[in-house]
Each structure stands twice: as structure tokens, then as C-alpha cells.
Structure 1
């Protein structure tokens, strides 16, 4: 073959034309594209420095991305708490492309928790919400189905519109399953229903703009919480609730938000509207992410406040120390944990870990223990820190 090839090349006949291959154009990166890529839950975002655990590729002019997380856990609790083997999990697929002078992103996020957690939820002392006590409910199978269009405007401004039959309105911090500071804690915060429980809402429409460090967004959505009797469907309802959120990102390591919203009849078991107000600040260096959140639910007959602080420290490439402290309705909860990565492929990262939560409540001092295996999408590899 090495001898014949040059001889064939010198033949007088024209060479056979090869089928043309269409080159893949690189994605156009600009303010609007970067704005969409930073989002973590709905239109909320972690600090830009937070490491994204995401895989991506180009396909027919689209940048296609996916990421997700799955914990398989065993919980054992003292006192009135229960024990259970369960899995919390979610997976998100995204696709982005330039369109009409801006960028279009479509997203789908799914969870198998209706199967792996079930209607009764999993045991978590002092947790309440969606008809459960001392248990955390499963997420819906459809966590998000959304489309968002962002466009560059004058004076370093990005304008955007987000529409979702099921999605996350502009209310609260980044929802706990997507916070960089909570990435190694499988259980939900006790403050979930006072801070970020609207991250799965129906009939969501959000419009907003961001200029330099400052952003503002307004949302309309259906305020009723998902139906715990059927987590496999998409709950329907007209827009009857609203929210507004302001954000401040002074540099890539810091992000803050202040939001308020009116929730129309959110609870199926308890009548009444809720005015929810939240404030949060998040910090990340990539390997160390922390968040501080305050939430306030105001009803005509009572108020409820919640404070949360959590942190996630990655060190020596494959080790994580985690912590969470909460004050909710007179209960104090302190969680400490450790995770160790055991294997890594091009797209996946697997590890094992555990955490302990101690509680302080009037007349009670129980504890909860979680052991887990964790599998998630992998971020780009980098060196020791």
C-alpha cells in the first residue's frame, strides 16, 4: 500500500470527490450566552466561580449539555425518627443555540424520586411540608420543562424571558438540589418550605434584565404546591401568584439576592395565602462554596422565620467536608459530613460519604445519621488544592 499510493496519486485521472463534511461551528459566547450558562435553577444562579458539574458537546449548531446527581442513602434516626433506604436524584438536559440575534435555551429536568422515595417521603426529623411531618416529600418526575430566550441590549445589559409549564419562578435562592454549597448533602434543609419550595411550580412566566452586577426579574406562576398523591404528572393551574427578585454579583466569587412573592393558597392542607420574603448571599472559590439564607413566610394569623448557613469544602482533589446549620420554628439543627470520591470517568464522578445531624428542640435532643453512595456528572478535571 505504501508503494501503490504514490503511484495512484500520479495517475492522470481526476481523484474521486469525497463527501463534504459540514464543520461544526463553535458556539458564540457573549453576555447573553454566559448569562444562560451560569443559571442553576430556573433563572437563579450560583456565583460564577462555582465549578459546574456538567458535560457538553456540539450537535447541529446546538450546544447540548447534561448534568445530574443521585444519592443512594440509608438514614437512621433516634427518638421518634424513622429508618429508611432511599434515593434522591435528578438529571437535567439542556440545549442552547443562537437565534434571532440572541440565544435560546431549552431545559428538561427529571427525577425518579416518585419511585425511589415514594409518597411517604423519607425520614427527616422536624421536617414539614406538603402534608408530611418528620418526613421530606419526593420531588415530581417533571421538575422542569422550560424555554428561555436571552438577548444582548445596549450598555452591557442582558434581557430575557423564561416560560415553563413546570419550572422555577424568580423567588428565593438557588434551590437546594442545585446549590454548590449543598452538593454533598443528600437530605433537604428543614427551611426548604420557607425559602425555596417554589422551585417546582406550574405555569411559570419570568421576565428580567441584568446590567453589569445588578439584575431584576418578575414572575407570574401558579402558587399551589405539587400534589403529593401523584408525582408523575404535571400539575396544571392558571397564574395566580407573583414574585420579584433583585440580584447583585459584584465579582465572580459572590452572588446575592433579595426576593418577595405572593403565593395564592400554596398548601393543600391549610387554607390561606403566603407572602414569602427571602434574602441570601453565596460565595464560591470553585473548591469551597458557602451560602447564607434567610426566609420569612407571612400569613394572616402567624409568621415563620428560617435561617440557614451551609458550606461545602473540596480538598486534595477527591475529599469534601460539608456543614449545615439551621434555625427553623424554634428548632436548631447542625449537620456535619464527609464525602470521598472513589472513581471518575470522563462524564461521571462516584463516591461514598455520610453525615450526622444533631437537633435542639424544646424537650428533645435527637440525632440523625445518613450513609450514602453518590453518583453525579463530572466537572472538568483540575489539580490539587
Structure 2
């Protein structure tokens, strides 16, 4: 019965668009398309269009490589023939997500943007105040603050070059080194002696301090280099706090350490090639996860490697496959290396005529430590109409950390989680929104864990969210 419930809820996540909800509304994204300006580099800014990133308007205007794609990659979309140059190549800026990862071109971006001479500045903030309750003998409850504050600056350099500087900070260290209660989550450490189990670790104060430079080498091609301390190497889908299908939930995915935990690597350099809708890139980075000291900047050798290929075959779809070899990723097991694989599909499309949207992610990850090969799957979906947002997630992981004695290599268990929630946003000003929401989660554990967890434990969160964009 549990497996049937889990499958039914997973399928229900894909039905979200009929439900309602959204704080991401941006009516300018859906304005009727204006006629394209004359083909001059200094042409006036084009009218806002669906899927255009209004947070990064640069001074250059280029042909949109997706001008020949319709909703599913067929008929031409006349509203998408010209857009400003993105940071890493000649494609719509709405395609850019965390680090160098791609998302669908139809993704919505928000942010305060301000031209300053040859520079375009952008700022965005999201802060959650959360009350968290996790049931059972391994549960706990607490209040905490989470979120991120992000800023970037970009400018053109010479003929066809683009420089971008980006910073992202988090209030997570305020919650304490032990993070917040979250059933089935495990990883990192609060004391340097044991891993966190049934708790989600906080992010460091500095989530990203990066710079990138791209050089256009053809009508639809570019070369780029990206570096960060910290930064995100070329592995996995966009980090969960940047995916439209996940960013509205204050609860971190339990698949985080399979799919996107490397997004805060303390030391990374990436080089890549963009040819139209395809991106190939490789990274060298510091594979060690951050330690329990959350307020500092760490350093280490760039001893790990990641390779990723990304493809956006249609304006609503983004695909990626990636591989990484991490050297000593775990602080508590410095002699153990790990190989990871990941594949994902992100789908985003508009709903209705008034700024509605629907976004879903299907992703798989594998961690191979040499002792165990552990798989993880997630299906998440969110949708918005008006001031409402509705989100849901179904996850399954194979983990050896839930009964481990201070480290890894405990018995392997297959566990699962379902969570769903909603938010109601109220606009306080042109760039400020306040939202109130909640979520409910049900965790599924096998017979070998039922005594420890007291059956299949529940969880819930209530939260207030402030967005400045």
C-alpha cells in the first residue's frame, strides 16, 4: 500500500499545473511581442518576452538561437527572435542558472537590475523564517532562518566578450552548526567528529563568489571560463534553490548529496564550449565538502574532476548528463574517494495568459564509494497562478548513513519521502513580496528502520518568506 501511495503521489506531482499557485508571476514576461528592432548592436531594448531574463539586461543584442523553436521545438516563435547576450554565450539569459548550469529558456527570472555605464547590476533576495517539526524518536522541532542574497554585475569586453561577477550569501549559519531537523537527510558534520543524520546541514555564509568570461566565436558559438571560491563545478542539474520546481519549498531534498551538493565547492575552475543549444564543459575543483565552520572561506587543492554535457532541444526543455570524480569528499573519511553520475530533465512552460507557470524536474544520481553504489531519484513539480504557488516532490534514495556509527558504511536501506505544500504571496511594493505557506511530508522506511523511526514518520513546516526582486 505504501508503494502504491508513493507512486500515486509521484504521478500527482506532474498534475500540479491544474492546481494553482505562484509568487513568480511576472506579467511583463507575457506582454505581446513588439516588432524586432533594427539589427544593430546598439539597438533599443526589445519588448519583454516569455522566458527572457530581466535581471541581466546587457548592452549587446544578438539573434536568439531559439528563434526557430516553437513551444516544442517546431514552429518559429516570433516573440523570441532577439535577446541580449547571456553571460556564457549567445543564447537567452533566462537559460542561465546556478554556476554554469542550464535550465529551460522559458524559465522566469526576477531581480532588481540597474544599468551603470557599461555595467548592468542585479540584486535578488529570498529569506525564509521557518518552524520545523519532525515526528518520532529521531525527530525534533525548531525555528530557523534560511535563504540567500544574490548580486551580479556584467559588462561587455571588446568585440564579443562578456565578463560577469557574481556573489551569493546565505543566512543559514545563524541556525547553528547542526542545521535543522529533516528525516532521512544525512551528510557533512557539525562537530568534526560525526556526520549529521536526520538533519540538513546549513550552507556556509559564502555560497558563491565567482567570475566568468565568455568570448563569442561565431553566430551561435562561444568559449567560456568560470572560476569560484566558492563556486559550482560542471556536475548535476542546477542547485535546488535555483530550480523553479524546487525553490519555493524551504525543505532541502534528501537527494541533495547525489545531485547538487557540489554547488558550494571551495575552489573551482571550469572551461566550456557552447555551440547553439549544446554545451560541453569540464571542471577541476576542490572535492572536499565544507567543514563545520560556516562563516569562513576554505581553500584546498583542485584535485577533483567533473564533466557535463547539456542540451536545450526546445525552449521548455533542458537536459544534462554529468560525471565527477571526487577526491576525499568527506571530512570524516579523508582516505575515501567517490565517483558520481547524474542525469536530469527540466521542463518549464507558461500557464494561461496572466503570468502563470509550471515547472518540473526528473533527476537521477549515483554515488559509488567503492564499498557501495547508491542510487537516488527525484521527481519534483511546482506551479503558480496569481499569488498562489503549489509544489510537490517525490524522492527515493539508497543510503548507508542512517545507522552508521559516526561515518558511512552502515547497512544500506532504501527509503523514500513525499512532500507537498503551498504559499500565498502578497505584494508589499513594486519589488517586495511577503508570502505565508506550509508543507507536509511523509517518510517511508523499511522494516529494518521502523523501530528506530517509530514507523513511517511525518514532518511539517510553517514559514514566512520575504522576496526582494
CA RMSD for the aligned pairs? 1.6
- Tell me the secondary structure at the aligned position of residue 392 of structure 2: strand
| Selected match of 1:370 from 450, 461, 466 | 461
Residue in structure 2 matched with residue 263 of structure 1 by the alignment: 326
2:427 paired with 1:343? yes
Contact 1:202 1:222 survives alignment (8 Å): yes
CA distance in 1 between counterparts of 2:59 and 2:149 reads 23
Partner of 2:181: 123
- 1:41–1:178 Cα contact (<8 Å) kept: yes
Question: Is the partner of 1:194 in helix, strand or coil?
Answer: helix
1:74 maps to what in 2?
131
Quote the residue 2:208 is aligned against: 144
Determine which of 140, 161, 164 is the counterpart of 2:225.
161
Q: Return the offset for 1:35.
A: 4.9
Structure 2 partner of 1:185: 249
SS in 1 for 2:266: strand
- Partner in structure 2 of residue 239 of structure 1: 302
8 Å contact kept, 2:182–2:198: yes
2:167 to 84, 91, 108: 108
Alignment correspondent of 2:60: 28
Alpha-carbon separation, structure 1, partners of 2:233 and 2:429: 34
* Bigger Rg, structure 1 or 2: 1
Question: Is structure 2 residue 378 aligned with structure 1 residue 298?
Answer: no
**Structure 1, unaligned stretches of length 5 or more?**
1-23, 379-385
1:57 CA displacement:
1.1
C-alpha spacing 1:276/1:100, structure 2 compared with 1 (3 Å): same
> How far 1:377 moved relative to its partner?
3.2
Residue 60 (1) aligns with residue 117 (2): yes
Deviations 1:194-243 (A, max 9, x none): 11000000221000011111111000001100011x11111101110000
Q: Which is further off, 153-162 or 89-98?
A: 153-162
Of 380, 384, 393, which residue of structure 2 is paired with 1:314? 384
Counterpart of 2:378 in 1: which secondary structure?
A: strand
**1:84-110 CA distances to partner (integer Å, 9 max, x unpaired)?**
100111111000100122110000111
Q: CA deviation at 1:376?
A: 1.8
Higher relative contact order (CA 8 A, sep 6+): 2
Aligned to 1:332: 416
Match of 1:16 in 2: none
1:168/1:201 contact within 8 Å kept: yes
Under a length normalisation based on structure 1, what TM-score does the superposition of the two structures give?
Answer: 0.88
| Cα contact 1:214–1:247 (8 A) shared by 2 | yes
Q: Structure 2: where are the runs of 5+ without partners?
A: 1-44, 46-56, 65-83, 189-194, 351-356, 399-413
Deviation at 1:50, TM superposition (A): 1.0
Distance 1:275 1:164 in 2: 22
Higher normalized strand content (fraction of residues):
1
Q: Deviations over 1:32-57 (max 9, x none)?
A: 82254332210012211111022211
CA contact (8 A) 2:419 2:439 kept: yes
What is the match of residue 443 of structure 2? 359
Instruction: Give CA-to-partner distance per residue, 1:57-107, whole Å, 9 cap, x none.
Output: 101211101123211100112112110100111111000100122110000
Given that 2:102 and 2:310 are in contact with CA atoms closer than 8 Å, whether structure 1 keeps it comes out as no
Deviates more, 1:24-33 or 1:41-50: 24-33
Cα deviation, residue 155, structure 1: 4.9
> What is the SS of the residue equivalent to 1:267?
coil
3-state DSSP class of the match of 1:174? coil
CA distance in 2, matches of 1:71, 1:236: 29
Alignment correspondent of 1:88: 146
Aligned residues: 352
The equivalent position to 2:261 in structure 1, one of 176, 197, 207, is 197
Matched, 1:97 2:181: no
